[in-house]
Structure 1
Amino acid sequence: MAGRRMGPPDATVRFELLDATERVLARDGYPAVTSRNVGKEAGVDQKLVFYYFRTMEDLVVATFHRRSEDFLGRLRAAAASAAPLREIWSLISDRSGRLTIEFMAMATRNAALKNEVREYNRAANAIIEEGLARRPLPTGADPALAPPAFVNFVIASVARNLLVEEEMGLTPPPDEMRILIEAWIDRLAP
């Protein structure tokens, strides 16, 4: 099928399929991401999915890639701000929890997506750690106790856990938890 004709990468329908994939994934979970469901969500015949993407795996990877490229741009701006820790936290803790959970679940079974997630994670970590290296520390704080890689790991882990717990309804009142986390961040980066 190498010679199969493919739709143009800048076609409106292609972008509608990417948007539809995100909506199906967020609403119904990764098992529902089928050509039939995506086509129906986009309002097109399911055959068009394969005109624009060789496989469903290609569609999912393209959907994640588009979303991650946009996020990396916003992450660069946050890391370059006057308060990188606060801005990075605000950005990573406010993402669509359901979509993040679904992409991660899919990546465990999809090698191409797993590689895309890995590459995104490397790029995001580099941006975050560069921004955190510039952050002011509290007076008298030992920088060895909160190196950028460690702070990145902690805030990313807390953000992911908070998103999962909110999605599952496991967290005490989320606003209460966020206030405590942000008070902790204020102590790390006055």
Structure 2
Amino acid sequence: MAQPRRRRAATEEKVTRVLETAAEIMLREGYAAVTSRSIAARLGIQPPLVHYYFPTVDDLFVALLRRVSELNVERLTAVMASDQPLRAWWDLASDPRGTGLLVEFLAAANHRPALKQEMGEVARQVRQMQMAALEKLLPEYGLDPDQFPPALIAATVQGLGLGIVADETAGYKTEHEQARAAVSRLIDRLEQQRASRHPD
């Protein structure tokens, strides 16, 4: 993969617009619709300008993944420090926009080794962050880490969010509304349990 060019501060706004446009195309039309031509057409610029910022489509996808991941880490940090960490985390994990992008990244990574490698590293870092937070939080919810290890809780929250949003986005008749409601009720009970164990 070509190395990204160094950019002057004045170009950052244009780069951000390119990445935001790529994300919108991914969400609306799928990752395969992301090309220099489609981005340029949306922005009213010439395709070579997109190539100036991102010499290859792989460069663009990796840059977008890094940008999205940085924002998600910031959100996850705030979520884990909130008054209702599991509730806030579930809302983040089951957000249609963020998870919809993840679905497209996963699909694209199946065909783009550079993106797949980057996604693996991002997933590892985020999972370590989640597990570190859960090690402290699980006892507050009355959950035994030996029975419900942080790795299980992290995989469950992320996996359920991904599965439900993927089915919602695709319009599959898989009773995803029922699943979402059931998870919400479970989290409500856990948050009530935590509040009773740790009253303000």
TM-score between both structures, scaled by the size of structure 1: 0.87
| Preserved contact between residue 7 and residue 51 of structure 1 (Cα < 8 Å) | no
Counterpart mapping for 1:17-96 below 5 A: 17-96=18-97
Could you tell me whether the CA contact under 8 Å between 2:96 and 2:169 is conserved in 1? no
Instruction: Indicate the SS of the match to 1:100.
Output: helix
Q: Deviations over 1:18-66 (max 9, x none)?
A: 1111111111111111111111112210110111112111011111111
Partner of 1:177: 179
Displacement after TM superposition at 1:187 (Å): 4.1
Structure 1 segments (4+ residues) deviating >3 Å = 186-189
Instruction: Summarize the Cα distance change of 1:142–1:69 in structure 2 as closer, same or farther, 3 Å threshold.
Output: closer
1:142 shift after superposition: 3.5
**Partner SS state of residue 141, structure 2:** coil
- Secondary structure, in 3 states, of the residue corresponding to 1:143? coil
Judge conservation of contact 1:78–1:88 (CA < 8 Å) in 2.
yes
Distance 1:102 1:144 in 2: 34
The one of 146, 150, 153 equivalent to 2:152 is: 150
Aligned residues: 185
Q: Which residue of 1 aligns with 2:107?
A: 105
Query: Please, what is the CA RMSD of the aligned residues?
Result: 2.2
Give the drift of 1:164.
0.9
Identity of counterpart residues, as a percentage?
A: 33
* Cα distance in structure 1, aligned partners of 2:144 and 2:56: 51
Aligned to 2:117: 115
User: Which of 166, 169, 172 is residue 167 of structure 1 equivalent to?
Assistant: 169
List per-residue Cα deviations over 1:110-150 (Å, max 9, x = no partner). 11111221111112111211121122133xx5431111111
Q: How far apart are the structure 1 equivalents of 2:6 and 2:17?
A: 13
Consecutive unaligned residues in structure 2, runs of 5 or more:
194-200
The answer on whether the counterparts of 1:18 and 1:59 sit within 8 Å (CA) in structure 2 is yes
Check 1:9–1:129 CA distance in 2 against 1; reply closer, same or farther (3 A cut).
farther
Do the aligned partners of 2:135 and 2:145 also contact (CA within 8 Å) in 1?
Answer: no
Q: Distance in 2 between matches of 1:83 and 1:131?
A: 13
Unaligned runs of 5+ in 1: none
